[in-house]
């Protein structure tokens, strides 16, 4: 089993695991940092560290039962926010990464060989967000 990845957030950035497919259909993983900047969110409140606002098409809250660990491709680009439990990802290039609760994953491997996600025995709570289609 892979070691749990290091610190996934600081007051300056959130590290997002990106899963993607190359032109040959092999899936890969890479860490992508999303910058946090001081911004006023609440009136008369102190500034918080926030990302830019990203448009989304839809979102859902999902309970993933234990035992799910098949190769799959997401139906579309999905930003997944793991609320509970650790999750382990494996891509077709053999890379394996284990993430703690609170991790952010951008699954973009909608084609190709896909990836495996292995879930904790107690099941997990995940928020899926479908990013709005990119404007060209």
Residue 45 within any structural domain of the chain? no
The strand pair at 96-99 and 78-82 is best described as: unpaired
Query: Is residue 91 helix, strand or coil?
Result: strand
CATH at residue 125 = 2.60.120.10
Residue 43 within any structural domain of the chain? no
Residue 109 within any structural domain of the chain? yes
Query: Is residue 80 helix, strand or coil?
Result: strand
Q: What is the pLDDT of residues 55-109, one digit of tens each?
A: 999 999 999 988 777 899 999 999 999 999 999 999 999 999 999 999 999 999 9
Domain count, the chain: 1
Residue 9 within any structural domain of the chain? no
Q: Which of 3, 19, 31 lies closest to 93 in space, CA to CA?
A: 19
Enclosing domain of residue 26: 15-33+54-131
d(CA 76, CA 95): 22
Residue 126 within any structural domain of the chain? yes
Q: What is the pLDDT of residues 31-59, one digit of tens each?
A: 999 999 999 989 888 899 999 999 999 99
């Amino acid at each position: 089993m892979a070691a749990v990845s290091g610190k996934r957030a600081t007051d300056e950035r959130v590290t997002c695991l990106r899963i993607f497919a190359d032109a040959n259909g092999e899936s890969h993983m890479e860490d992508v940092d999303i910058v946090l900047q001081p911004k006023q969110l609440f009136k008369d409140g102190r500034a918080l560290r926030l990302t830019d606002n990203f448009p989304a098409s839809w979102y859902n809250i999902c309970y993933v039962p234990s035992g799910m660990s098949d190769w799959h491709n997401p139906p579309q680009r999905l930003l997944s926010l793991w609320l509970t439990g650790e999750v382990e990802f494996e891509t077709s290039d053999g890379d394996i990464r284990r993430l703690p609760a609170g991790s952010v994953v951008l699954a973009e491997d909608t084609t190709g060989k896909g990836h495996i996600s292995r879930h904790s025995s107690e099941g997990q709570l995940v928020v899926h967000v479908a990013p709005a289609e990119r404007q060209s």
